[in-house]
Amino acid sequence: MNTLNEINWFPGHMKKALDQIKERLKTCDGVIEIGDSRAPISSFPTYLDKLVADKAKFYIFSKADLADRNALEKHLDKYTALGINTLALNLTDRRAMQTLINRLSLVRTRQEERFLKLGFPAPSKRFLVLGIPNVGKSTLINSLAKKKKAAVENKPGKTRSESLIKVSDKVFIIDTPGILEPNYEDKNIVIKLAILGSIRNDILPLIPLTDYLLEYLLKHYPQRIYERYHVSLDGNCEEIYLRIAKERNFVSKNQSDSERARSTLLTEFRNGLLGGISLDE
């Protein structure tokens, strides 16, 4: 998709957000990095690695309720083998938060190690929550904070400022605005992140995005498409979308409205109506 080279998904406010994150990191001993369970590799904020190299880390994979469980488990096993604190969660489920709070209080920060070595009681610790837009950072904050503290919306770029939230006596966390990598070398990642809803809908054109999604689903989950839309899966993407439009009675100017079928499939995928899926192979 050549046009991708000309698309700017790193708007000015993200540059500002990155500067704010650098400032905030100076006052935090740890980071909670969030990836999306539906694309755990592509969505992970790997490009912040250097910035957080000396911090205690906890990895969370959000939207586990929408992911392909088998693919996700394999991915998590890799982190567990490396000894990294990792949890995959449905962040909207407050009941799952106690496990996370317990695990967070066990993460040893450098400052904590120093204090304990000297025989002082463990100090409180601060984690900065990091991740791409729409991955669930503010949802995590709200679920942990027990009452609504951070603005949440299913649109990338909701959070523009940060605040300190108390999670337990000794654990505090800070929300941050979502940021993307300024230059993804693999342009497929940009498409995947747009499919997940982490890049604004108006930035990438609907047709290549929904062609990519349908081709991927036909390759990896053809049965799901068939079971949901009851159409023949022969032919090219436009032909299949036209059949879906016909099946759903999407008509515009007396013709099947394939564009509406495309938006519908994208929305239904995002809402988990096609079942748990992984976009990373």
Beta carbons within 8 Å of 64's beta carbon, 6+ residues apart: 37, 72, 88, 89, 90
Site string for Mg ion, 88-127 (x = CB under 5 A): ----------------------------------------
The secondary element (H helix, E strand) that includes residue 251 is: strand 251-252
Partners of 62 in the β-ladder: 36
Q: Is 278 in the site for Mg ion (CB under 5 A)?
A: no
Q: What's phi and psi for 145, nearest 5 deg?
A: -85, -5
Indicate whether 158 belongs to the interface with ligand GTP (CB under 6 A).
yes
Q: Which of residues 161-190 bind ligand GTP (CB under 6 A)?
A: 177-178
Name the residue among 156, 152, 123 with its Cα closest to residue 140. Answer: 152
85 lies in the binding site for ligand GTP (CB under 6 A): no
Distance CA 81, CA 71 (A): 16
Characterize the bridge pairing of strands 30-36 and 125-130: parallel
Examine residue 158 and tell whether it contacts Mg ion (CB under 5 A).
yes
Which of Mg ion, ligand GTP, none does residue 135 bind to, with CB < 5 to 8 Å depending on kind? ligand GTP
246 binds Mg ion (CB under 5 A): no
Contact 264, 231 (CB under 8 A): no
Window 170 to 229, contacts with Mg ion (CB under 5 A): none
Among 30, 35, 40, 156, binds ligand GTP (CB under 6 A): 156
In the range 47-66, which residues lie near ligand GTP by CB under 6 A? Answer: 62-63, 65-66
Nearest by Cα to 130 from 43, 37, 27: 43
Q: Which residues bind ligand GTP (CB under 6 A)?
A: 62-63, 65-66, 90-92, 131, 133-139, 152-154, 156-159, 177-178
* Interacting residues toward Mg ion by CB under 5 A: 137-138, 158-159
